[in-house]
Amino acid sequence: MKKYLLLMILPVFFMASCAPAEKENPFFSEYETPFGVPPFDEIENEHFEPAILEGIKKQSEEVQTIILNPEAPTFENTIAALDYSGEMLGNVLRVFYNFNSSLTSPEIQQIAQEMSPKLSEHSDNIRLNMDLFHRVQAVHDQKEELDLNPEQMRLLEETYKGFVRSGADLPAVKQERLREINTELSSLTLQFGQNVLGETNAFKMVVDNEEDLAGLPESSIEDATERAAMEDMEGKWVFTLHNPSVMPFLYNADNRGLRKKMQQAYINRGNNDNEFNNREILAKIANLRLERSRLMGYDTYADFSLENTMAGDVETVMNFVDEVWDPAIALAREEARELQAMIYEEGHDFTLEQWDWRYYAEKVRREKYDLDEQEIRQYFELNTVRDGIFMIVDKLWGLQFVERLDVPKYHEDVQVFEVLEADGSHIGILYMDFHPRDSKRGGAWMSSYRSQRVDQDGKFVHPVITIVCNFSPPSATRPSLLTYDEMTTFFHEFGHALHGLLSDVHYPSLAGTSVTRDFVELPSQIMENWANEPEVMETFALHYETGEAMPESLMDRIVESAHFNQGFATVEFLMSTYLDMEYHTTTEPFDEDMLYDAADIVEESTIRKKGMIPEIHFRHASTHFNHIFSGGYSAGYYSYLWSGLLDADAYEAFRETGNVYDRETAKSFRENILERGNTKDAMEMYVDFRGREPVIEPLLRQRGLAVDPVKKDPVPFDVEPVID
């Protein structure tokens, strides 16, 4: 999956001592750069701490001004003023959090650890400030008498609800404990993610026998050769746990013992007896979330978290996931039998294991469909795919992309584009950071350096958006050639970028991707549908050397194979969904002497309850499950599938017109979904676009778990192309 940055910290009274403002600190003055992007060429690590502390101080003063306002509370002097507060702090944190994910270092990680409790305290001082809450409550109590437009009413409701869900109406003794929990959680979740990155970077499998490279594509061998040279190991080959290295190895390496070594290292990140161990950390996180939820009056953390989603409650989520699980596990069992049969046909007598599945699935796929991932990659050169995406959104919405070489960027690999409307008017700036490095966490995500809004002077503020990926890098002899999954991931993240870029709302906290977790993946996942359309693919699937379009026969075989191995993919995903819910529907905390073993207990319970087949592992196991222990998907990993329900049904609206580029449908999707941010209830926005609530049949067809009674022909889909 993919990670979204929480950019809005609500205000409160908090007086912080901070170092004197340094004149050379770029965060202390307005950015004098093209389009007002952050001056990356001027920012040094030493600038972050004083700027964060100054930002906390400024927002605290802004909040105090709201509290001490002698006038009666109104929407403008309380709700809107609160939403606009903290601009400097937001500017600093957007850069800092993005750096901590995509350009981190021991120094940045140390700053993050030191600032995390201060930021948690600042946030609590805002959310738990009774004088501030009473002003918010006073406006909320008179909402029916106020002449508010729909967006203002939404902001009022979301602000009031945010205070209540943060504990503003709890008694003082419970608030004090809530502060302690929040501070501890802020540090633990940060440490969890840093450990996963540390373990990923620490692992290196060195191959010194050329025979052990059998089966690997030339591109993987070349990358391993270059990595070895970087490590001063000329004449050897180095493989890592970064996706462009580990995944081709698991799919292609003939050496079963080395496949096992790689697969076990991959699934055991954060689970080894070293400084990166996450076992006790994750159990403490789960315990603290449960305690916090109980303080708030909920039985479980999932009850608390899901109350604020489209799904609404645990029962709805579990019923929905179970509806997909039954056909998925049945299909996975059939796939396992097919792979085992191939093992026997080759003359082997071993039983299919987790480190064998991808390898033999790739063999079966080649045999059935005559498909070779390395052949397919020849047609997905990174920049050509990028231009294909640009072409698609031009046809849908008339958007134009102009590369800007005059805009500061934080790393030499980054590409920067100005995004324009069809009439040439400015929309925003898009950064794209494509390749893995040790300073970048795994996976792919979208974030922002500036969110869209209308400022207090009535000026429209254009967004600055970034998408960050870990795609196969170029080598000395070839450009970056994407796998099929990487190509769809690019489309996925670009959909998130459009959600941020096309936002057209007034208030900062309602802009762009600031929607519920089970709605935010709709704009990203619907883009994957265009990636899989043959008539669309033929415009960007061009051979990187000859420029020739992908042969129709190859494209037909790709479409024909769309549902191959989908039992595995769906079960792997759903098991992590069940694992997430197992942690967050518990009603009892782990005892102190159980903390280290909690991961084993919960995983074994999840496997037993669902009848998981041993040949498949969790897509994300406990100790490296960044989504739920270090990201924003706790009790929410199901969201990818829920959004799949939405995107599959939404894409049908285009197909029903007979034209996947239908401009009227695209216009409606933009106006009712992409532009609206969180200004309306998510289901209301969806109904505004579709004319009805979503139905599940398109999702089941796309997953190959049902057959279209009319077409009798499934269409390709991937619930979550990002492997974190």
Supply the mean pLDDT for the chain: 93
Q: pLDDT at position 37, please?
A: 98
- Verify whether residue 375 is a known catalytic residue: no
Which pLDDT score is estimated for 19?
Answer: 41
Locate 487 and state its tokens: 């190509």
Say if residue 533 is in the same domain as residue 444: yes
The pLDDT value recorded for residue 492 is 97
Q: Does residue 530 have a pLDDT over 60?
A: yes
Asked if residue 325 lies in contact with residue 610, where contact means CB atoms within 8 angstroms, the answer is yes
Instruction: Give which of 311, 307, 304 is closest to 585, Cα–Cα.
Output: 304
Q: How confident is the model at residue 3 (pLDDT cuts 50, 70, 90)?
A: very low
In the chain, the N- to C-terminal Cα span, in Å, equals 6
| Residues 208, 145 share a domain | no
Q: Are 127 and 163 in contact (CB under 8 A)?
A: yes
Residue 250 lies in a domain: yes
Cα 323 from Cα 272, distance rounded (Å) = 35
> What pLDDT band is residue 702 in, cutting at 50, 70 and 90?
confident
Tokens encoding 87 = 């601009």
- Residue where one domain finishes, among candidates 267, 295, 319: 267
> What's the pLDDT score for residue 495?
98
Torsion from C-alpha of 180, 181, 183, 186, nearest 10 degrees: 170
Are 508 and 451 in contact, with CB atoms under 8 Å apart? yes
89-108 pLDDT, tens per residue? 999 999 999 999 999 999 99
Q: What pLDDT is attached to residue 704? A: 84
Separation between Cα atoms, residue 673 and residue 495, nearest integer Å: 12
User: What is the per-residue pLDDT across 76-85, written as a single tens digit (0 to 9) for each?
Assistant: 999 999 999 9
pLDDT of 61 strictly over 90? yes
- Percentage of residues in the chain having pLDDT higher than 70: 94
**How many residues are given for the chain?**
724
Residue 153 covered by a domain: yes
Whether the CA torsion 166, 169, 170, 175 is positive or negative: it is positive
Considering the domain architecture, whether residues 229 and 146 belong to the same structural domain is answered as no
Q: Same domain, yes or no, for 428 and 510?
A: yes
**Within this chain, do residues 535 and 448 fall inside the same structural domain, yes or no?**
yes
Average pLDDT over residues 148-176: 97
Domain count, the chain: 3
pLDDT band at 444 (very low <50, low <70, confident <90, very high): very high
CATH code, 112:
1.20.1050.40
Label residue 22 by pLDDT band (50, 70, 90): very low
Q: Which domain holds residue 62?
A: 26-127+129-165
Question: Which pLDDT band holds residue 23 (cuts at 50, 70, 90)?
Answer: low
pLDDT at 426: 98
Longest CA pairwise span in the chain (Å): 85
Write out pLDDT tens, residues 588-637.
999 999 999 999 999 999 999 999 999 999 999 999 999 999 988 999 99
Under the banding of pLDDT at 50, 70 and 90, the label for residue 703 is confident
Pair (208, 155) in one structural domain: no
State how far the Cα of 709 lies from the Cα of 392, in Å rounded to an integer.
Answer: 30
408: in domain: yes
Q: Quickly state the pLDDT bin for 705 (edges 50, 70, 90).
A: confident
Do 417 and 498 reside in the same domain of the chain? yes
Statement to judge: residues 143 and 230 lie in one domain = no
- Among residues 362, 493, 533, 603, the one annotated as catalytic is 493
The two three-digit tokens of residue 524, written as one number? 């990203």
pLDDT of 707 > 50? The answer is no
